[in-house]
């Protein structure tokens, strides 16, 4: 708030100075024509008698984070004398960066400013200033990696991932064009594309310059694609290979008569893997049913709670029925099905 107030006052003073000189003391900044002779004399006397006192130097840095290789920041010093008034124009202010002098600037309306070039190294810095025997506290700022030039990738997959195991995804080091490592905690994601409009989104954050995440492989097909995303940068697409899912040999099927609809309810499942887990909700299933008259229809949909169900407009009297079910590139065939029959099929 102090800095904002000084800047506002300074802007006002600049405008006033175009038509009339201004006078500053501990009570403010006013046109010199409005200052009484007593106030002017008292201020001059105080400055002469207190001339040995140190000035008060306040330093501000903005913005607090600069991007490597990007735009300059600013270090601004506001200098007040012993009475709290802005020091006279032309007071020299010396700026220091990590203890090294970077320039001496003369004040205007008690303020001196020096540019801060971010350079190409992502690191933290401290800035200070000295003026009229006074010294500021340190102000700190950071140079962050150039996010727009980050290089994002994925380490190669060494072998196919077995079903029902955790698959590790690792981006490897994420660096900007200057070799700076991305900050820890930067939002990242790894996306595994199973099929058209079917994917797994795995959010994560960078740790020690890497984006890592593990994924439990269940209904992923044997061949998929995976990419990494950090900020606005995408990695190239990498192939992901998994051992095909293995179902339990017995997949239950039920045909139930729906007399009011002149149809049957087809229920398939639960789909159980050889590890005893249900197939993940949303997994695609297709089913082809044929009756004894040669009529045939194919349905497709998704598993919910391990089961696929669909009403099929077939006359129950046209039994027996043949059914072919396919899920995760595994095919099950059923022959001689009757309405309200419950049977297990053979898989191929």
Residue-wise pLDDT tens digits, 117-153: 998 999 999 999 999 888 999 888 999 999 888 888 8
State how far the Cα of 160 lies from the Cα of 33, in Å rounded to an integer. Answer: 86
pLDDT at 342 over 60: no
Half-sphere exposure in the Cβ direction for 26 (13 Å, CA): 12
Task: From residue 86, give the alpha-carbon distance in Å to each of 21, 29, 110, 131, 247.
Answer: 15, 9, 5, 12, 81
Residues 257-277 pLDDT 10s: 877 767 888 999 899 888 788
- Cβ–Cβ < 8 Å for 244, 220: no
Burial of 243-274, coded b for 16+ CB within 10 Å and e otherwise, reads eebebbeebbbbbbeeeeeebbebbbbebbbe
State how far the Cα of 262 lies from the Cα of 211, in Å rounded to an integer. Answer: 56
pLDDT at 50 over 80: no
pLDDT range class, residue 343, cuts 50, 70, 90: very low
Could you give the 3-state DSSP secondary structure of residue 191? strand
Please report which helix (H) or strand (E) contains residue 14, including its range.
Answer: helix 2-17
What confidence score (pLDDT) does residue 23 get?
A: 58
Could you give the 3-state DSSP secondary structure of residue 45? helix
What confidence score (pLDDT) does residue 43 get?
A: 46
Q: Is the peptide bond before 270 cis (omega within 30 degrees of 0)?
A: yes
Provide the mean pLDDT of the chain. 81
pLDDT range class, residue 29, cuts 50, 70, 90: low
Find the distance separating the first CA and the last CA of the chain, reported in whole Å. Answer: 75
Percent of the chain clearing pLDDT 90 (strictly above)? 34
- pLDDT, average across residues 47-62: 69
Query: Domains of the chain, with CATH numbers?
Result: 2-144 (2.60.40.1930), 148-241 (2.60.40.1940), 252-347 (2.60.40.1930)
Phi-psi region of 183 (alpha: psi -120 to 50; beta: other; left: phi over 0): beta
Residues 6+ apart with CB under 8 A from 197: none
Residues 68-100 pLDDT 10s: 999 999 999 999 988 888 899 999 999 999 989
pLDDT at 21 over 70: no
């Amino acid at each position: 708030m102090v800095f904002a107030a000084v800047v506002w006052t300074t802007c006002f003073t600049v405008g006033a100075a175009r038509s009339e000189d201004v006078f500053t003391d501990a009570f403010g900044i006013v046109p010199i024509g409005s200052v009484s002779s007593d106030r002017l004399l008292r201020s001059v006397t105080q400055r002469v008698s207190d001339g040995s006192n140190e000035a008060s130097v306040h330093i501000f840095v903005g913005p607090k984070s600069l991007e490597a290789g990007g735009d300059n920041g600013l270090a601004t010093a506001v200098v007040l004398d012993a009475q709290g008034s802005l020091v006279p124009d032309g007071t020299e202010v010396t700026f220091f960066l990590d203890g090294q002098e970077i320039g001496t600037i003369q004040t205007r309306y008690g303020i001196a400013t020096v540019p801060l070039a971010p350079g190409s190294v992502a690191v933290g810095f401290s800035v200070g200033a000295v003026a009229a025997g006074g010294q500021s506290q340190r102000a700190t700022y950071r140079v962050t990696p150039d996010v727009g030039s980050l290089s994002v990738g994925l380490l190669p997959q060494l072998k196919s991932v077995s079903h029902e195991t955790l698959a590790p995804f690792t981006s490897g080091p994420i660096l900007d064009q200057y070799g700076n490592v991305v900050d820890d905690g930067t939002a990242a994601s790894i996306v595994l594309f199973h099929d058209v409009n079917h994917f797994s989104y795995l959010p994560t954050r960078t740790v020690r310059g890497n984006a890592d995440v593990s994924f439990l492989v269940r209904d992923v097909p044997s061949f998929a694609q995976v990419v990494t995303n950090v900020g606005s940068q995408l990695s190239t697409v990498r192939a992901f290979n998994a051992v095909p899912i293995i179902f339990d040999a017995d997949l239950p099927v039920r045909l139930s008569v729906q007399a009011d609809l002149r149809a049957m309810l087809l229920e398939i499942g639960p789909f159980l893997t050889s590890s005893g887990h249900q197939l993940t909700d949303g997994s695609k299933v297709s089913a082809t049913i044929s009756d004894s008259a040669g009529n045939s229809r194919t349905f497709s949909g998704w598993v919910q709670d391990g089961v696929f169900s669909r009403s099929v407009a077939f006359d129950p009297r046209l039994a027996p029925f043949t059914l072919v079910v396919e899920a995760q590139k595994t095919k099950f065939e059923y022959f001689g099905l009757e309405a309200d029959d419950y049977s297990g099929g053979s898989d191929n």
